Structure 1
Amino acid sequence: MGEDSGIVGFREQQGACWQLRLVGKVEMARMGATWETSPVGSRKALTLMALLGAHGDQRVTLTEIVDALWQGAPPKEPAANVATLVSRLRARFGLETIIGRRTGYRLGGTVQVDLHEAAVLVTKAERALRSAQPAHCLLVAEQAIKLLVPGQVLTEYPASPWAMDARALQDKLLRRARHVAVESALRTGAPRLARALADTTSAAHQALRAC
């Protein structure tokens, strides 16, 4: 799948009005100049948003959702329970927040996910570097790093396989962002900046792996 491996089907979003933060504490916030969070609701509603966010715009099956929400002890009517959660989230954040029916769901285009936005930025930075645009590459790579380093992805779900996959993606993206940021700084004649970026991202990377 090339440089976008691990970001299956994710598209750069236009017109997103919500950002879902997976790096650090899971939060939903309106897009804008300030970070104003909005309560998601119950723990299960938050877990559902986190699960869908971890999958980007991939459809998540009902079975996967039920496993994540109830961990082997589902209610009598799991499809109805999930549908109720989806309805509440749509009422809170908009009908296009979650797309799908009872067999499976995915995030809609009105929600931007920080982890996958970082993936888009890293890919852009790599392309800029290959196109001999190191200054632009540096700017974009730094934006990606800013999204990736506030904390570990989905810390509230330490043992969940889907969360572990998302943390592996964060690890991979941070390494790629570090490489292009340092290389672009060197090409722009800024060795001190390159060294500072290398030190900062290495420290962040080690901290994340130690979590």
Structure 2
Amino acid sequence: MATWLRLVGTFEVWRDGSAVETALGSRKARVLLAMLAVRRGVLVPGDSIVDSLWADDVPRDPRANVATLVSRLRAAIGTDAVLGDRHGYRLSTAVGTDLDEAVALLERGGAREAAELLGRGPLLPWVSDVDWLARARDRHAALLRDALLGTADAALAAGAARTARAAADAVLATDPLDERATRALMRACLAGGDPAGALRAYERLRRALADELGTVPTAPTRRLHVAVLREEPVGVRSPSAG
């Protein structure tokens, strides 16, 4: 039986095409499944699970409580989906997630589709900030950046300047210091007949780097800036460095 999880923007659990998240029961069962999902294939020690599920008021036999939660998960998504014992558990790699789907799309050149999948909201927004989730959210942010920049590159190559500009702007909205996104935005502005917009994008980056880091744009970004000033032709693809 195929099991698939949506982790971005919301939390959905599907088994053979039917939603089964209500069968998980308690919130702790959902948190446990989410924890195993973002570390899919990796054994999560029992002590780590206990610490994540019970910051306070730890039950008398927490590992027994975890085992009960695992039983609920297995009943809902399959006995082979959650592997391990009281010492630790892992989610089978046969269980799919939207993060995995996005990675596969990126590998096949489907950056725009991956960006749509990853851009539906934060990763597991209903879970409180904890160490394991912070690392997972960093990975989600990195994947979304790659997808958006890939979208910008593909759009520029196809002559879709507006799409490229929107993708680059989306990256810069979360990280104004992203030089690759700035270069993509500059190229999109040029492709759309807005050289002044390209110069403004460079100036925003230059000021942000000076104010926050005391540095200047890297050589590829400076060269693109000079090319814009000289009205020289530039390529549609931004170098990945910087």
The answer, yes or no, to whether TM exceeds 0.5 is yes
Alignment map for 1:120-131 (pairs within 5 Å): 120-122=104-106, 124-125=107-108
Deviations 1:143-181, CA, capped at 9 Å, x for gaps: 211221111012122321111111111111111111111
Query: What is the SS of the residue equivalent to 1:99?
Result: strand
Higher relative contact order (CA 8 A, sep 6+): 1
Aligned length: 174
In the alignment, is residue 25 of structure 1 matched against residue 10 of structure 2?
yes
**Distance (Å, rounded) in 2 between the aligned partners of 1:112 and 1:95:** 15
Aligned equivalent of 2:146: 176
In the alignment, is residue 78 of structure 1 matched against residue 62 of structure 2?
yes
List structure 1 runs of 4+ shifted beyond 3 angstroms: 35-38, 196-199, 201-206
- Conserved 8 A contact 2:5-2:98: yes
The two structures have a TM-score, normalised by structure 2, of 0.64
Shift of 1:26: 2.0
Aligned equivalent of 2:210: none
Letter in 2 for 1:164: A
Please identify, of 43-52 and 16-25, the stretch whose mean Cα deviation from structure 2 is larger.
Answer: 16-25
Letter in 2 for 1:180: G
Q: 1:108 to 1:68 in 2, by over 3 A?
A: same
**Distance (Å, rounded) in 1 between the aligned partners of 2:131 and 2:82:** 22
For structure 1, which runs of at least 5 residues remain unmatched after alignment? Answer: 1-15, 126-136, 207-211
For structure 2, which runs of at least 5 residues remain unmatched after alignment? Answer: 176-242
**Distance (Å, rounded) in 2 between the aligned partners of 1:78 and 1:37:** 25
**Distance (Å, rounded) in 2 between the aligned partners of 1:90 and 1:36:** 15
- Conserved 8 A contact 2:10-2:124: yes
Q: 1:36 to 1:85 in 2, by over 3 A?
A: closer
> Identity over the aligned pairs, expressed in percent?
42
- Conserved 8 A contact 1:20-1:29: yes
- Conserved 8 A contact 1:56-1:113: no
Q: 1:59 to 1:198 in 2, by over 3 A?
A: same
**Distance (Å, rounded) in 1 between the aligned partners of 2:174 and 2:147:** 11
Shift of 1:87: 1.1
Alignment map for 1:106-145 (pairs within 5 Å): 106-122=90-106, 124-125=107-108, 137=109, 140-145=110-115
Q: 1:82 to 1:204 in 2, by over 3 A?
A: farther
Deviations 1:20-64, CA, capped at 9 Å, x for gaps: 1211222212354xx745412111100100110121221111011
The two structures have a TM-score, normalised by structure 1, of 0.73
Aligned equivalent of 1:165: 135
